[in-house]
Amino acid sequence: MRRARRTLPGGIAITLLAVAAGAANDPQAWLQRMAAAVQTTDYEGTVVRLSGDSAEAVKVIHSVSDGVVREKLIAQEGDGLEIIRIGNDVQCVLPERQSVMVEEWSDQSTLFSTLPTRVLRIGTEYDTRVVREGRVAGRTAIVIAIKPHDEFRYEHRLWLDAETAFPLQTQLLDADGAAVEQVKFADIELGSDIHASALASSYDTAAFKWYGPARRASTRDVEAAWQNDALPAGFRLVSAQQQESLPGSGHRVTHLLYGDGLASVSVFISDDAGEALPERSRVGASHSYSTIVDGHRVTAVGEVPAVTVERIATTMRRSVPE
C-alpha cells in the first residue's frame, strides 16, 4: 500500500485506502473469509469448551487435503479418549476399554458446529457488526457480534484471527448477555505442516476390540405432511425426511428441519405418542421440548433458547390427513 501511495495519483490512493478500511469493518466480508478459512486451514492447538458449569480441554490436530478433513482430537482429562476422523468416517478410541467404536458423522466441523459456515444468508432478524479488536491464544482477533432482534435465538460473538479470519473463539449469549456456551483456543498454530503420523492413534489398536457402526434406519426425502404457521420470524422449512421403521418397530418418524440461516431446529414427529415424557430438557446451549399433537409425539431440539423449541413444537399441525 505504501508503494501504491508513492506511484498512484493522490485521489486513487485515498480511494484504495478507504476501500481497505471499509472491508476491515464489513462483518459480512469477515464471515465470508471465516467460512473459507474453516474449510481449508490446517492447524494444531488446544481447545477449551465451556458449557454451564462444565469445562473440557481437547488437543486438536486438523488437516484438509483434496477437500477431505483429517482430524485427531485427544481429551486432555479423563481416560485418554481419542477421536480419529477421515472425512465422515470416525474412530473413537477408548484405551481403558481396549476398544474402538467406528461411527459415521456428517458434521463438517466437530468444534464449531454453530458457526454460520454453510449458509451465510443471515436475514433481517440479526444485526451484524465489527465490535472491537481483542486477543485470543496470543493472536490479534477481530470481534464480530451477530445480535438477534428477538428472544427466539442466541447472540453470537466470534473472535476471528485478524490475519486469516480463522475463528479463535466463539460464544453463544442469552438475552441477558450471559455466555451459555463458548469454545476457545488456549493455544494454536495456524497453517502448520502436519505429518500423517500425527493424525494416527497414539495407541496400538491392533489388539483392541472393534465395534462397527450401529444399524441406522434409512431415511428418504418426503413431502411434509406437517406444517407450522406460527414459526418465529425468519425460520423456514429446510428439509423433510421420513425415517423407515427399524426391525421390530412399526412406528414412523418424520424429521423436519427449520432454520433461519444461522439457528436451526429439528422437529421429530412419531406416530407413537408413547408414555408421558419430560417435556423440557437442556444440555448446554441445546434445548428440547416434547409434547403430544393430534395423537403424535412431537419433539423439537436445537441450539436455541427454550422458548423457541416450545413455540415450534406446540404449533405444529398436520397438513395432510393420514
Listed by start position, the domains of the chain span 2-211, 219-318
Q: Say what the pLDDT of residue 138 is.
A: 94
Bridge partners, residue 254, by sequence: 242, 269
Q: What is the pLDDT of residues 253-273, one digit of tens each?
A: 899 999 998 899 999 998 876
Could you say which residues of the chain have pLDDT below 50?
A: 1-8, 12-22, 117-120, 246-247
Q: Give the N- to C-terminal CA distance of the chain in Å, as an integer.
A: 67
Take residue 264 and report the three cell numbers written for it.
436451526
Which pLDDT score, from 0 to 100, does residue 15 have?
Answer: 41
Average pLDDT, the chain: 83
Check if the beta carbon of residue 174 is closer than 8 Å to that of residue 154.
yes
Q: Within 10 Å of residue 91's Cβ, how many Cβ atoms?
A: 18
Q: What pLDDT does residue 38 have?
A: 87
- Closest by CA position to 35, among listed 120, 114, 146: 120
Residue 46: count of CB within 10 angstroms of its CB:
16
Q: Do 152 and 161 contact (CB within 8 A), yes or no?
A: no
User: What percentage of the chain reaches a pLDDT higher than 70?
Assistant: 79
Contacts (Cβ under 8 Å, ≥6 apart) of 312: 228, 231, 232, 235, 258, 265, 267, 289, 300
Q: What is residue 245's predicted lDDT score, i.e. its pLDDT?
A: 53
- Specify the long-range contacts of residues 133-141, CB closer than 8 Å, at least 24 apart: 133/162, 134/159, 136/168, 136/169, 136/184, 136/185, 137/45, 137/168, 137/184, 137/185, 137/186, 137/187, 137/188, 138/187, 139/163, 139/168, 139/188, 141/168, 141/169
| 3-class secondary structure, 308 | helix
Helix ranges restricted to H, the chain: 2-7, 10-24, 27-40, 306-314
Maximum C-alpha span of the chain = 78
Render pLDDT for 58-104 as a digit per residue (tens, 0 to 9): 999 999 888 888 999 999 988 889 999 988 888 899 998 999 999 87
Using alpha carbons, select from 177, 181, 197, 173 the residue that is nearest to residue 70.
197
Euclidean distance between CA atoms 255 and 301, whole angstroms: 11
Architecture per CATH, domain 219-318, reads as: 2-Layer Sandwich (3.30)
Q: 10 Å Cβ neighbour count for 319?
A: 12
Amino acid at 206: A
**CATH code for the part of the protein at 2-211:** 2.50.20.10
pTM of the entire structure?
Answer: 0.80
Q: Which residues contact 134 (CB under 8 A, 6 or more apart)?
A: 140, 141, 142, 143, 159
- Can 2-211 and 219-318 be said to share one CATH topology? no
